[in-house]
Amino acid sequence: MTVVPPAAGEPRRPEGPRNPGDAWVIADTGERYWGRFGAAGLLAFDPARGVLLQHRVAWSHFGGTWGLPGGAMHEGESAIVGAVREAQEEAGVPDGAVRVRVTSVLDLSIWSYTTVVADVVEPFEPVISDPESVALEWVPVEDVDARPLHPGFASSWPMLRTLLDERPAIVVDAANVVGSVPNGWWKDRAGAAARLRERLVDLAVPAEDLGIGATTWFPEVSLVVEGQARAIESEESPVRVVRADAAGDDAIIDEAARLLSIGRSVTVVTSDRGLTARVEALGARVLSAGWLLRTIDH
pLDDT single digits (tens) 140-180: 999 999 999 999 999 999 999 999 999 999 999 999 999 99
Report which of residues 38 and 10 the model is more confident about.
38
* % of the chain at pLDDT higher than 70: 94
End-to-end CA distance of the chain: 31
CA within 13 Å, CB half, 188: 8
pLDDT at residue 17, rounded to an integer: 52
pLDDT at 182 exceeding the cut of 50: yes
pLDDT at 8 exceeding the cut of 50: no
pLDDT at 42 exceeding the cut of 90: yes
| Cα 138 from Cα 124, distance rounded (Å) | 10
What pLDDT band is residue 9 in, cutting at 50, 70 and 90?
very low
pLDDT at 251 exceeding the cut of 80: yes
pLDDT at 12 exceeding the cut of 50: no
Going from N- to C-terminal start, the domains of the chain cover 2-163, 168-297
pLDDT at residue 1, rounded to an integer: 40
b vs e for 113-141, b when ≥16 Cβ sit within 10 Å of the residue's Cβ?
bbbbbbbbeeebebebebebbeebebbeb
The three-state secondary structure class of 180 is coil
Least confidently predicted of 6-15, 110-119, 182-191: 6-15
What pLDDT band is residue 62 in, cutting at 50, 70 and 90?
confident
pLDDT at residue 2, rounded to an integer: 44
The verdict on domain 168-297 having CATH code 3.40.50 is: yes
Report which of residues 215 and 61 the model is more confident about.
215
pLDDT at residue 5, rounded to an integer: 47
Mean pLDDT of the chain: 91
CATH of domain 2-163: 3.90.79.10
> How many other C-beta atoms are found inside a 10 Å radius of the C-beta of residue 63?
15
| Cα 178 from Cα 195, distance rounded (Å) | 9
pLDDT at 196 exceeding the cut of 90: yes
pLDDT single digits (tens) 63-73: 789 999 999 99
Residues 6+ apart with CB under 8 A from 258: none
pLDDT single digits (tens) 97-139: 999 999 999 998 899 999 999 999 999 999 998 787 899 999 9
pLDDT at residue 13, rounded to an integer: 46
* % of the chain at pLDDT higher than 90: 78
| Cα 176 from Cα 252, distance rounded (Å) | 12
